[in-house]
């Protein structure tokens, strides 16, 4: 690569930086709070309401709309999404192709994939992934869970480490969870499946059939104790 080509690349890089910084300065002039102007990377179009705040090293791609009071944590990526008033995107979260309501908490390390609609006052815990799902208001999805191809009515709780088993090896199947249902930690919901209104699923259950309303469903092996068991031991 000759010196002329290198100089052209340098000039383009410098110009791109100046254009990007100008976009950030326009946001600041409009009242947006930016922790580090040089670390807000705008690679698309962004619309911000009042009192929006960005921490360091945030990437904006596509068309992003942030309503009043949105907080975006460090090292997050927002792409083609709308985020409602008062919602917090905690650090290291990725939101793509989604609509998120008001006063929600996402992450840290949350992954909101395309075709997701989230209502108001929803909590998405750390290391939670949501894909192609409709989540109504006042739901809570706790850490280390996967909710994919699912429809959750209002006031549903998903315990930590619970997954919707949406793929059967051939096609995608949906899970429907009605209002007020409580899914314990460490459950597997094998779609297609419906959990009816106010149902409770015990922790550690593998659910393969529809769950009745207003009932407790337990689907796990009974605990067995074998005395004087000689298990493997590590050698010193």
169-210, pLDDT tens digit by residue? 899 999 999 999 999 999 999 999 999 999 999 999 999 999
Residues 108 and 70 in one domain: yes
Residues 196 and 161 in one domain: yes
Domain annotation covers residue 225? no
Residues 16 and 105 in one domain: yes
- Among 96, 131, 166, residue at a domain's last position: 131
Would you place residue 1 in the very low, low, confident or very high pLDDT band (cuts 50, 70, 90)?
A: low
Residues 108 and 71 in one domain: yes
* Cα–Cα dist 115/95, whole Å: 11
The H or E element that residue 4 is part of is helix 3-29
User: Rounded mean pLDDT of 220-232?
Assistant: 89
Residues 124 and 188 in one domain: no
User: Rounded mean pLDDT of 150-166?
Assistant: 98
* Cα–Cα dist 13/166, whole Å: 44
Q: Is the dihedral of CA 213, 186, 123, 150 positive or negative?
A: negative
Residues 118 and 80 in one domain: yes
* Cα–Cα dist 106/91, whole Å: 9
Q: Are strands 216-217 and 200-201 parallel, antiparallel or unpaired?
A: parallel
CA distances, 100 to each of 82, 87, 189, 197 (Å): 6, 8, 24, 24
Percent of the chain at pLDDT above 70? Answer: 99
Domain of 213, in residue numbers: 155-219
Active site residue 167: no
Residues 80 and 14 in one domain: yes
Q: How many domains does the chain have?
A: 2
CATH number of 49's domain: 2.160.10.10
Domain annotation covers residue 224? no
Would you place residue 234 in the very low, low, confident or very high pLDDT band (cuts 50, 70, 90)?
A: confident
Domain annotation covers residue 150? no
Residue 222 DSSP symbol: P
Domain annotation covers residue 145? no
Mean pLDDT taken over the chain: 94
Residues 21 and 124 in one domain: yes
Residues 40 and 97 in one domain: yes
Would you place residue 232 in the very low, low, confident or very high pLDDT band (cuts 50, 70, 90)?
A: confident
Q: Which among 171, 203, 178 has a CA at the least distance from the CA of 193?
A: 178
- Contact at 8 Å (CB) between 214 and 197? yes
Point out the catalytic residue in the list 41, 138, 143, 167. Answer: 143
Query: Hey, what are 204's tokens?
Result: 């550690």
Residues 117 and 196 in one domain: no
Q: Check residue 8 and give its pLDDT.
A: 76
pLDDT tens-digit readout, 12-61: 777 777 777 888 889 999 999 999 998 999 999 999 999 999 999 999 99
User: Rounded mean pLDDT of 161-169?
Assistant: 94
User: Rounded mean pLDDT of 58-65?
Assistant: 97
């Amino acid at each position: 690569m000759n010196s002329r080509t290198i100089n052209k690349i340098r000039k383009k890089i410098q110009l791109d930086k100046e254009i990007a910084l100008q976009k950030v300065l326009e946001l600041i002039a409009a009242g947006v709070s930016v922790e580090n102007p040089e670390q807000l990377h705008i690679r698309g179009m962004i619309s911000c309401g009042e009192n929006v705040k960005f921490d360091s090293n945030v990437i904006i791609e596509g068309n992003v709309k942030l309503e009043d009071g949105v907080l975006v944590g460090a090292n997050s990526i927002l792409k083609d999404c709308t985020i409602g008033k008062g919602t917090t995107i905690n650090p290291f979260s990725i939101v793509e192709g989604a609509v998120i309501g008001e006063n929600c908490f996402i992450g840290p390390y949350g992954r909101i994939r395309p075709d997701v609609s989230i209502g108001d006052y929803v909590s998405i815990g750390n290391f939670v992934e949501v894909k192609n799902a409709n989540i109504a208001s006042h739901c809570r999805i706790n850490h280390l869970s996967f909710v994919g191809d699912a429809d959750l009515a209002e006031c549903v709780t998903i315990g930590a480490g619970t997954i919707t088993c949406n793929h059967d090896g051939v096609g995608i199947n949906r899970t429907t969870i009605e209002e007020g249902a409580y899914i314990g930690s460490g459950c597997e919901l094998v779609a297609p499946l419906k959990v009816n209104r106010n149902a409770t699923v015990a922790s550690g259950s593998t659910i393969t059939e529809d769950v009745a309303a207003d009932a407790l469903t337990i689907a796990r092996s009974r605990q067995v104790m074998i005395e004087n068991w000689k298990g493997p031991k590590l050698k010193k």
